[in-house]
């Protein structure tokens, strides 16, 4: 479409559509990390108890990870480093190699290996994210009644099987609902967090990086273990860069600054405030923030959000594979276009099958989100 011929009203409407779309696709993964990131980081301290300074330290690590890794590294810098409008690890590798060959080709081998390693990590994230996200969401049923505990894994496997089975039909018809659902999700995250933050304003101390540094300096090996779990809070950051070609830099940046980042920070701070107020409600702090009467509908909303998050990384794996084939890094694979209007919507049967078996294997081996989070960290 020729944007020069569009009226200002049409341009504004198209921008809003891109904004809503990127909320659903780009931020699905990182948007569901509050389900498990703080819980898993804090679990490492429960053996010997914990104090407010430790909670401040963990939350400070999470907040500054979001600021340094996501906001500064990805949103402000990497989004400007596009390869003909495309982003992602392999796009960055191709761009750097092209420029290095003009200056000093001796480093091109290192850049190539770094690109392959980054792509491999993204494939790993594409398998881990659906498993840990859906398991974490469905585990909220345990708070409704302990009788659901034995059904968490079967229900999760049924949801994941349905998710991968529907890939062959494409996501064009349902993707228009992703953005509005995730918009409701982020608003709910922020409101829940704000409710508990107001009850304990001292939680704002976690913005002081001193608590993060002090925590790492005084907890030795435990501090490094906690840091591994803290990085669960930034899973999905690569999606910001990978989907650059689909949505453009400005919608991704504005969605982060005006909605996603505040909602995530509010929710993490709310979880910490709730734990301090209740003196140890750390078994599942995310769901314990929710009023008991709203728990079941909230589990349904969380499960829907994790399905959308899983769809985002699966689609990202398809796009990454297509880039790898074009660069000659992978043999030719069958690529099916699932949309008559959007060239970027593709389906790779072999990648879908491999991812499905990887996700199921992770669920069966680790059984629950806590075990999987420990392995991820």
Per-residue pLDDT of the chain (377 residues; tens, 9 = 90+): 444 566 777 778 778 877 887 888 788 889 999 988 998 888 877 555 568 899 999 999 999 999 999 999 989 988 887 766 667 777 778 777 777 766 667 777 788 888 888 888 888 888 888 898 899 888 888 877 777 788 889 999 999 999 888 888 766 666 677 889 999 999 999 999 999 999 999 999 999 999 999 999 998 888 888 888 898 899 878 777 777 766 778 888 999 999 999 999 999 999 999 998 887 667 788 988 988 888 889 989 998 998 888 887 888 788 888 888 887 888 888 877 766 655 566 788 899 999 999 999 999 999 888 888 877 75
Give the residue carrying structure tokens 């913005």: 207
In this predicted structure, what is the pLDDT of residue 345?
Answer: 67
The tens digit of pLDDT for each residue in 186-208 reads: 999 999 999 999 999 999 999 99
d(CA 341, CA 337): 10
SS3 220: helix
In this predicted structure, what is the pLDDT of residue 16?
Answer: 82
In this predicted structure, what is the pLDDT of residue 103?
Answer: 67
Residues 6+ apart with CB under 8 A from 24: 175, 177, 178, 179, 180, 181, 182, 183, 308, 312
Residues 6+ apart with CB under 8 A from 275: 42, 55, 281, 282, 285
159: phi then psi, degrees, rounded to nearest 5 = -60, -45
d(CA 186, CA 189): 5
In this predicted structure, what is the pLDDT of residue 329?
Answer: 81
Give the residue carrying structure tokens 């001796």: 106
In this predicted structure, what is the pLDDT of residue 269?
Answer: 96
In this predicted structure, what is the pLDDT of residue 186?
Answer: 96
Of 158, 161, 312, give the one whose Cα is nearest residue 246.
312
On the 0-12 / 13-18 / 19+ scale of CB atoms within 10 A, 341 is: exposed
Q: What is the pTM of this model?
A: 0.86
In this predicted structure, what is the pLDDT of residue 340?
Answer: 63
User: DSSP secondary structure string, 117-158?
Assistant: HHHHHHHHHHHHHHHHHHHHHHTTHHHH-GGGGGGHHHHHHH
In this predicted structure, what is the pLDDT of residue 341?
Answer: 59
Of 278, 295, 262, give the one whose Cα is nearest residue 196.
278
Q: Angle at which helices 261-278 and 52-65 pack, to 10 degrees?
A: 170
In this predicted structure, what is the pLDDT of residue 122?
Answer: 84
**Which token pair is 116?**
């392959």
**Which token pair is 294?**
């709203």
């Amino acid at each position: 479409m020729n944007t020069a011929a569009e009226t200002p009203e049409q341009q504004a409407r198209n921008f809003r559509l891109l904004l809503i779309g990127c909320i659903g696709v780009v931020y699905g993964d990182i948007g569901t990390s509050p389900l498990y990131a703080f819980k898993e980081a804090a679990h490492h301290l429960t053996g010997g108890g914990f104090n407010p300074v430790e909670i401040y330290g963990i939350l400070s690590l999470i907040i500054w990870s979001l600021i340094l890794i996501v906001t500064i590294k990805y949103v402000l810098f990497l989004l400007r480093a596009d390869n003909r409008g495309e982003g992602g690890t392999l796009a960055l590798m191709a761009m750097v190699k092209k420029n290095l060959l003009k200056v000093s080709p001796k480093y091109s081998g290192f850049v190539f290996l770094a690109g392959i390693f980054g792509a491999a990590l993204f494939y790993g994230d594409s398998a881990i994210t659906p498993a840990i996200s859906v398991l974490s969401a469905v585990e909220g049923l345990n708070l409704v009644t302990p009788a659901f505990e034995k059904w968490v894994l079967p229900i999760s496997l049924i949801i994941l099987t349905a998710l991968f089975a529907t890939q062959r039909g494409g996501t064009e018809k349902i993707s228009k609902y992703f953005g509005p659902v995730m918009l409701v999700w982020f608003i709910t995250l922020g409101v829940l967090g704000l409710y508990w933050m107001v009850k304990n304003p001292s939680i704002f101390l976690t913005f002081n990086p001193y608590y993060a540094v002090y925590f790492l300096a005084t907890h030795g090996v435990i501090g490094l273990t906690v840091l591994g779990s803290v990085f669960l809070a930034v899973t999905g950051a690569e999606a910001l860069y990978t989907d650059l070609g689909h949505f453009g830099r400005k919608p991704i940046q504005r969605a982060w600054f005006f909605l996603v980042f505040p909602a995530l920070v509010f929710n993490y701070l709310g979880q910490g405030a709730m734990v301090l107020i209740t003196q140890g409600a750390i078994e599942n702090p995310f769901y314990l923030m929710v009023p008991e009467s709203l728990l079941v509908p909230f589990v349904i909303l969380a499960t829907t959000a994790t399905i959308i998050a899983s769809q985002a990384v699966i689609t990202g794996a398809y796009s990454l594979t297509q880039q790898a084939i074009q660069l000659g890094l992978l043999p030719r694979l069958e690529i099916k276009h699932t949309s008559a209007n959007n060239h970027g919507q593709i389906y790779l049967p072999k990648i879908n099958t491999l991812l499905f078996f990887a996700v199921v294997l992770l669920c069966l081996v680790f059984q629950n989100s806590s075990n999987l989070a420990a392995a991820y960290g």
